[in-house]
């Protein structure tokens, strides 16, 4: 990350009834940074057009290939709701070619394992296809690993970038795509835009995927992700080979719910340096920190809890919580300066016993 830089919207493309792409170029030479397929940008979106300076901050995956140097493309689904200020609606309605946006990043760890020889399954639901498109571009031009692109959405009216997927499929042998529409229209049937209708089932996966050893990359709405995770592991794909990313705060896939810790059954504070007591004041729980945990967020998820998160990289602020007592250290520097009584769970670990307002 290199702080926020100014980028100009040089093109705006309506990809479907609900999805629009924005092509961005830096206003200052040298402000474009290389990225890996699957990484995201953090975007400051003006919340008002009156010059007040108020912004909404959101993260959007880069949908362009890493080889397209000097430009980023983000592909955004419009979200609307009563009484809710949606950044995506502001992008769709008020941001046009010639406008300037502040961009930070790229960042994120949802990226391809370039050293793996295994076949790849790119599995997406809805606008979750955006990191998969970038990954598909990269895989098509690097090596000869078999690649299977499986996408699910409502119908052809909302599907985005279908022509682009078909074009990439023809780049080299060994790339196959499959589209599943939940409720295809008569036009979809007539145009042959999809392969299967309804939901992605075990049978769909078995028919599409030959027996092989796969690396899976998956993105989409939480119910879709949970269902696909169960199907994939049920087919024998190992959990550690399923990489995934949520676009909204959600819980860890496949994590068994831990039994709640009763206040009078709280573990005793350790006598040595193996861990610290982590007190959750709102839920009245006492836990003992596991030093092998990657972060406070990962530790809490391992305890069966579901704190909010989105980027897992210290950018979006979704996992920020009040730190009532104690201190943390950051192994990734937060994009925003943290207050003395704030903690970002995704990129911090405890330096001493903590009391969190959770």
Structure confidence by residue, pLDDT tens digits, 279-314:
999 988 999 998 888 789 888 877 878 787 666 667
**pLDDT score of 211 more than 90:** no
Distance CA 126, CA 160 (A): 9
Which residue do the tokens 């009156």 mark?
A: 50
pLDDT surpassing 80 at residue 131: yes
Domain boundaries, the chain: 5-107, 119-245, 263-356
In the prediction, which pLDDT does 51 show?
53
210 Cβ neighbours under 8 A, 6+ residues apart: none
Give the Cα separation of 39 and 104 in Å (integer).
12
Please write down the HEC assignment for all residues of 99-155: CEEEEEEEECCCCCCCCCCCEEEEEEEHHHHHHHHHHHHHHHCCCCCCEEEEEEECC
φ, ψ at 83 (rounded to 5°):
75, 10
* Res 109 pLDDT > 90: no
Distances (CA, A) of 296 to 274, 293, 305, 343, 346: 15, 7, 11, 9, 6
CATH code that applies to domain 119-245: 3.40.50.80
Cα separation, 3 vs 12, in Å, equals 24
pLDDT tops 60 at residue 50: no
- What per-residue confidence (pLDDT) applies to 28? 94
Question: Distance between CA 70 and CA 250 in Å, rounded?
Answer: 33
263 pLDDT band, cuts 50/70/90, is: very low
- Please determine, for residue 113, whether its predicted confidence score (pLDDT) is greater than 80: yes
Q: Which residue has the higher pLDDT, 207 or 254?
A: 207
pLDDT of residue 307: 81
Look at 192 and 308; give whichever has higher pLDDT: 192
Element spanning 166, H or E: helix 162-169
pLDDT averaged over the chain? 86
As a whole number of angstroms, the distance between CA 268 and CA 203 comes to 49
- Four-residue CA torsion sign, 183, 188, 189, 192: negative
In terms of average pLDDT, the best of 11-15, 210-214, 243-247, 250-254 is 11-15
Which pair of tokens denotes residue 151? 């996408």
**pLDDT of res. 294:** 79
Q: Provide CB contacts within 8 A for 284, sequence distance 6+.
A: 263
Cα(27)–Cα(197) distance, rounded to whole angstroms?
45
115, two tokens = 């050293």
Same fold flag, 119-245 and 263-356: no
Q: Give the pLDDT confidence score for residue 255 in this predicted structure.
A: 54
Task: Examine the pLDDT at 111 and tell me if it is beyond 90.
Answer: yes
Query: What average pLDDT does the segment 128-141 reach?
Result: 96
Assigned superfamily of 5-107 = Translation factors (2.40.30.10)
pLDDT at 48: 67
Architecture of domain 263-356: Roll (3.10)
Q: Per-residue pLDDT for 202 more than 50?
A: yes
Residue 252 above 70 pLDDT?
no
């Amino acid at each position: 990350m290199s702080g926020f830089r100014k980028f100009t919207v040089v093109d705006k493309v309506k990809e479907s009834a609900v999805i629009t792409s924005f092509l961005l170029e830096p206003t200052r030479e040298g402000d474009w940074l290389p990225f890996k397929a699957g990484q995201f940008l953090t975007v400051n979106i003006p919340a008002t057009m009156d010059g007040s300076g108020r912004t909404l901050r959101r993260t959007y995956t880069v949908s362009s290939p890493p080889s397209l140097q000097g430009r980023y493309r983000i592909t955004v689904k419009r979200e609307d709701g009563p009484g809710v200020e949606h950044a995506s609606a502001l992008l769709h309605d008020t941001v046009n070619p010639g406008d300037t946006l502040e961009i930070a990043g790229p960042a994120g760890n949802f990226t391809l394992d370039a050293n793996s020889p295994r076949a790849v399954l790119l599995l997406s639901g809805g606008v979750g296809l955006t990191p998969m498109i970038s990954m598909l571009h990269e895989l098509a031009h690097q090596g000869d690993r078999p690649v299977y692109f499986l996408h699910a959405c409502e119908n052809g009216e909302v599907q985005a970038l279908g022509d682009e997927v078909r074009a990439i499929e023809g780049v080299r042998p060994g790339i196959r795509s499959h589209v599943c529409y939940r409720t295809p229209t008569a036009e979809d049937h007539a145009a042959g835009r999809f392969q299967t209708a309804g939901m992605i089932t075990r049978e769909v996966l078995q028919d599409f995927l030959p027996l092989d050893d796969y690396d899976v990359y998956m993105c989409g709405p939480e119910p879709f992700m949970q269902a696909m995770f169960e199907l994939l592991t049920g087919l024998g794909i190992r959990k550690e080979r399923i990489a995934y990313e949520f676009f909204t705060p959600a819980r860890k896939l496949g994590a068994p719910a831990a039994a709640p810790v009763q206040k009078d059954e709280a573990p005793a504070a350790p006598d040595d340096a193996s861990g610290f007591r982590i007190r959750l004041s709102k839920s009245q729980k006492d836990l003992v920190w596991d030093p092998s945990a990657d972060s406070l967020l990962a530790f809490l998820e391992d305890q069966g809890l579901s704190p909010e998160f989105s980027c897992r990289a210290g950018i979006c602020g979704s996992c920020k919580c009040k730190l009532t007592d104690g201190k943390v250290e950051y192994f990734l520097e937060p994009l925003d300066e943290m207050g003395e009584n704030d903690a970002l769970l995704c990129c911090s670990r405890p330096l001493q016993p903590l009391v969190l307002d959770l």
